[in-house]
């Protein structure tokens, strides 16, 4: 149990740290009007503040009520994912990694919601004028973690 807790703390802390440091750097160095173009017509770093949920859904609904709901939903999700994490059989390292990534990513975005009332996003993938919704390190960790779990389920390894 101690090793499992240590693993969770290491992975989720790494995600949280990378997420928060990258968001701090973006806030200090990138403006709304001036993105950093990395690959023309494909990848740029742009400061985006997302008061809504994933992909900006519900971003038109603002105010303390919706902020509270997003925070509550995150806390409930963290509780459920944490419960599943500690119920894993000892040999499911890949599932532990996936769940740790999800937990770290959720906490990273939760910190933004508590601190700012919205989430800082900055990775902007696009093809000319066709944009994928901006995302961040925490979102990437959640996506990779969910992908690991989906693969394990499809391969019937979990």
Domain positions in the chain are 2-154
Confidence band, pLDDT 50/70/90 cuts, at residue 58: confident
Q: What is the pLDDT of residue 112?
A: 97
CA 30 – CA 108 distance, rounded (Å): 20
Instruction: Give catalytic residues, as residue numbers.
Output: 121, 139
Instruction: Please tell me the predicted confidence (pLDDT) of residue 32.
Output: 81
pLDDT for res 54? 76
CA-to-CA separations, 141 to 14, 44, 78, 98, 103, in angstroms, rounded? 10, 19, 14, 9, 9
Q: How many CB atoms lie within 10 A of CB 141?
A: 28
Model confidence over 66-102: pLDDT tens digits? 889 999 999 999 999 999 999 999 889 999 999 999 9
Closest listed residue to residue 90, CA positions, set 4, 2, 151: 4
Range 118-126 average pLDDT: 96
Residue 85 CB partners (closer than 8 Å, separation 6+): 4, 8, 96, 99, 100, 103
pLDDT of residue 87: 95
Show the tokens assigned to 2.
């101690």
120, 28 contact by CB (below 8 A): no
Q: Which tokens in the block code for residue 91? A: 């040999």
Task: Please tell me the predicted confidence (pLDDT) of residue 13.
Answer: 98
**Predicted pLDDT of residue 92:** 93
- Cβ density class 45-77: b for 16+ within 10 Å, e for less: bbbbbbbbbeeeeeeeeeeeebbeebeeebeee
CB-based contact 53:70 (threshold 8 Å): yes
With 0-12 / 13-18 / 19 or more C-beta atoms within 10 angstroms meaning exposed / middle / buried, residue 19 is buried
Structure confidence at residue 9 (pLDDT):
97
Rounded to two decimals, the pTM is 0.93
| Confidence band for 19, pLDDT divided at 50, 70 and 90 | very high
């Amino acid at each position: 149990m101690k090793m499992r807790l240590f693993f969770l703390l290491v992975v989720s802390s790494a995600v949280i740290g990378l997420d928060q440091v990258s968001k701090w750097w973006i806030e200090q160095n990138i403006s709304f009007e001036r993105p950093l173009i990395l690959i023309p017509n494909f990848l740029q770093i742009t400061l985006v503040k997302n008061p809504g949920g994933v992909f900006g859904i519900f971003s038109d609904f603002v105010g303390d009520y919706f902020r509270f709901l997003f925070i509550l939903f995150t806390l409930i999700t963290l509780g459920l994912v944490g419960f599943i994490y500690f119920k894993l059989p000892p040999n499911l390292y890949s599932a532990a990694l996936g769940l740790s990534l999800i937990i770290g990513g959720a906490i990273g975005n939760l910190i933004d919601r508590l601190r700012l009332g919205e989430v800082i996003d900055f990775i902007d993938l696009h093809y000319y004028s066709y944009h994928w919704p901006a995302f961040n390190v925490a979102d990437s960790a959640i996506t990779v973690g969910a992908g690991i779990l989906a693969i394990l389920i499809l391969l019937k390894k979990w």
